[in-house]
Chain A
Amino acid sequence: MPDGGNMKKVLQGNSAIARGAWEAGVKVACAYPGTPSTEILQEIADSYPEIYVEWSTNEKVALEVASGAAIAGARAMASMKHVGLNVASDPFMTLAYTGIKAGLVIVVCDDPNLHSSQNEQDSRNWARFGKVPMLEPCDAQECKDFTKIAFEISERFDTPVLLKGETRVSHSDSPVKLEERKEGKVPLGLDPKNVPKYVMVPINARVRRKIVEERMKKLEAYAEKFKYNKMEINSQNIGVISSGVAYLYTKEVFPEYSYLKLGMVWPLPKKIIAEFFKKVKRVIVVEELDPFLETEIKAMGYKIFHGKDVIPNMYELSPEIVEQAIKGKGYKPPKIKIKPADLPRRPPNMCAGCSHRALFYSLKKLGAYVFGDIGCYTLGAAPPLSALHSCICMGASIGGAHGAMKALGKEGLGKVCAVIGDSTFLHGGVTPLMDVAYNKGNSTTIIADNRITAMTGHQEHPGTGFTVRQKSTHMVDYAELARVLGIKNVRKIDPYNVKETMQVVKEELERDEPSVIVTTNSPCIMLRREKRKFANPFYMIVTDKCRGCKMCLEIGCPAISWKEGAGETKDGHKRKGTVMINKAVCVGCELCAQVCKFEAIVPGKV
């Protein structure tokens, strides 16, 4: 092994967090999948059998389960993406009051630049808002180390601890020194006498409220001694205060500057910051997203040389963005050889044979206004389908459609529906559906059931019949659930049958009562377990019949392409070109053949 025989392995940041949890003796880990946090729990499930692990129904449940385990004396972790903590914020804010018994760490992974998210949030604000300490690692080694330290802090100060990941930390790989697992020291067991600590009724919560403030003072003192709040004195002229990956970018382009790298971003070490201001003439604060450190440092009474006046407060940073911001006009960009904007983009697209494509084709033909939700099917908004009209957050489609119908009255009948995926429905769609029935709504909810949490890379959920470790378990029946909630009209459709789908959806959109439509026989086309069988392995174009009308291009299938070239069909219709089907990509879903009016798309011969 390199490096003097230490066990060293290249790990992704998320895998390093999983490893850190294992080494820290974690017993319970919970999460709901969400980019860029998903791999943390997946890695624990795959590699560390000592840890009980679950895909929870949503992030709020994940945190509640983890907190219960911690109160019972087991080190526990909940991981989620930035918007997941919005969902989990209710238990989060009050767990800061109760504290824990064994260590409780909440990993929250931000997504600057919205690589795979509906918004951009700076989760450091949760630490200040919730009065909870937060650690921010910059690479895989720190991911592992900080996870372990987070558990120590949690138990020492009786508080949940936030660990901040982000796309470029969670999804970057670098070498990590591996160590052994050490079980936690807190004994397992519940303490029924400790009611004032855990029952947050006003009389108890008022007492805990004060304890939170006292704990914050102790944590501030701890931050001054925290060894990962580190000064590197090089230049006496310019010093940078930074944290996480922003520190790495800055260090990369300005190695000659002095640095104060903060491993703990809340609470801040005021004395160390004061010392840094004494050691360097000018201080630049480099941080991604909000002026979090900058605001606090200014509130301490310091003048900074640069901060968000030059460093962007949105999207992600990078070495060249930091260089350009600090150098200003002195930055020399590389010579442009090709303008990337002139090249055709390659946006994400539904896979060939995806059942969502078929569903959205029908919805487009019906002219429905679709309140959409979070998942692969959000791609239904992209051209050429352009058949999804809103996407806000997990579960928002159902309430949205209900509200629109209440506003439009009878005028809305036949025009509005909600489309939500199976996993998203179970995460956040059950309560709004109950609301629709209870409040005498008349909206239609389509559950696009592809049998898996697809977009994040195939995670199990309560509707698949399997746990995270592939144990067979209870499987939610969507139709039965909808009926119990009060929905009388529950229909099923096979989205690959366009005619039937359009008929059923039309009837339900026009019905002056709430309805639920569940897609069947529509598993994710990439899901091997439920491999969808089609009658034919692929389809092909009868070039003699193709009139080049481009109708089949309207479904946006990656297997179908346009070939320019004037000519005519066998029966003499002029055309400007023809289409082609890529046999290697086509899975034989037959949607294009149903769309073609000239019988020019037929089953291919093997």
Chain B
Amino acid sequence: MKKNGKVTNIFLSGVGGQGTILASNILTEVFLDAGYDVKKSEVHGMAQRGGDVTTHFRFGKKVYSPLIKYGDVDFLLSFELLEALRYINWVKDGGKIVINKQEIFPPAVNLGLAQYPQDVEKIFKKYFKEDVCMVNGQEIATKLGNVQAANVVLIGAFSNFFPEIKEEKWIKAIKGLLKEKLHELNIKAFKEGRKAL
């Protein structure tokens, strides 16, 4: 167990229905198991689907605030392009970014009243250079037989940033959180995601 005083801040963003909650639950289990104090905070808002979803996840020796301080994000893990861009200011200099290459149009874009932002990747690379990783979660998950597993593909890709945590720890967390019939698909999704970076 690494027990320095520093707290690591991971910010997850996406759209309701994309499975960000499962993703953050996996992080919670993995880092708790690794001996850290953890805190996770999310807003359950109005309406079941379609709104933006954010989760603040923090781990370290001792975590106080459940919310990350604005501008203090070490890792941005985003499940949708626009929802990545919305939180770019939250990431500190030198922060690492993993983005799922999916566009989900918000109502104003559907109605033709606003433009979906172009060049999200380019904007991120301008500020964060090679620390920006784009993942095609939908494509990988679809190849495995279920597009719903894109969230676990993303977690797989993201897991590369923590070499001190062994693969089986991640798989243990996935198994603990999902029904048995979903284990095979999601373990494959995790492994494919891990290879994608």
**Which residues of A line the B interface, CB within 8 A?**
2, 8, 10, 35-36, 115-116, 139, 167-169, 171-175, 245, 248-249, 251-253, 318-320, 323, 333-338, 340, 343-351, 376, 379, 384, 454-455, 457, 526, 550, 553, 556, 558, 560-562, 564, 577
Query: How many contacts between A and B, using CB within 8 angstroms?
Result: 165
Given contacts A249-B67, A338-B123, could you give 14 more A-B pairs where the C-beta distance is less than 8 Å?
A: A10-B28, A35-B46, A36-B44, A139-B39, A168-B66, A171-B42, A172-B66, A252-B65, A318-B69, A318-B70, A346-B107, A351-B49, A454-B48, A562-B111
B73 to chain A, nearest CB (A): 10
Residue contact B28 to A348, C-beta cutoff 8 Å: no
B143 to chain A, nearest CB (A): 17
A174 to B40, CA, bound (A): 7
Residue contact B111 to A553, C-beta cutoff 8 Å: yes
Q: Mark B31-51, 1 if CB is under 8 A from A, else 0.
A: 011010111111111111111
Residue contact B69 to A550, C-beta cutoff 8 Å: no
Residues of A within 8 A of B108 (CB): 344-345
Cβ-defined partner of A553 (8 Å) among B41, B64, B110: B110
Residues of A within 8 A of B146 (CB): none
Stretch at the interface among B80-88, B129-137, B157-165: B80-88
**Which 4 A-B pairs have CB atoms at the shortest separation, nearest pair first?**
A334-B71, A562-B112, A348-B47, A252-B65
Q: Is B109 an interface residue (CB 8 A)?
A: yes
Residues of B within 8 A of A173 (CB): 28, 38-41
A115 to B67, CA, bound (A): 15
A173 to B66, CA, bound (A): 8
B94 to chain A, nearest CB (A): 13
Which single residue of chain B is at the shortest CB-CB distance from A584? B147
Residues of A within 8 A of B72 (CB): 319
Residues of B within 8 A of A346 (CB): 15, 50-52, 82-83, 106-107
Given the known interface contacts A174-B39, A320-B71, A455-B46, the answer about A345 and B89 at a Cβ–Cβ threshold of 8 Å is no
Q: How many residues of B contact A (CB 8 A)?
A: 54
Q: Is B114 an interface residue (CB 8 A)?
A: yes
Given the known interface contacts A139-B66, A174-B63, A340-B86, the answer about A553 and B112 at a Cβ–Cβ threshold of 8 Å is yes
* A/B interface sample: 17 pairs, CB < 8 A: A10-B38, A115-B43, A168-B67, A171-B41, A175-B38, A249-B65, A252-B69, A318-B69, A318-B70, A320-B69, A340-B89, A343-B86, A344-B116, A346-B15, A347-B51, A349-B50, A455-B47
A340 to B90, CA, bound (A): 11
A455 to B49, CA, bound (A): 10
Residue contact B65 to A376, C-beta cutoff 8 Å: no
Residue contact B89 to A335, C-beta cutoff 8 Å: yes
A320 to B72, CA, bound (A): 10
Cβ-defined partner of A2 (8 Å) among B33, B68, B71, B107: B33
B123 to chain A, nearest CB (A): 7
A381 to chain B, nearest CB (A): 12
Residues of A within 8 A of B66 (CB): 139, 168-169, 172, 174, 245, 248
A226 to B106, CA, bound (A): 50
Within 1-52 of B, Cβ neighbours of A (below 8 Å) are at: 15, 28-29, 32-33, 35, 37-52
Which single residue of chain A is at the shortest CB-CB distance from B112? A562
Given the known interface contacts A336-B89, A343-B117, A556-B107, the answer about A319 and B47 at a Cβ–Cβ threshold of 8 Å is no
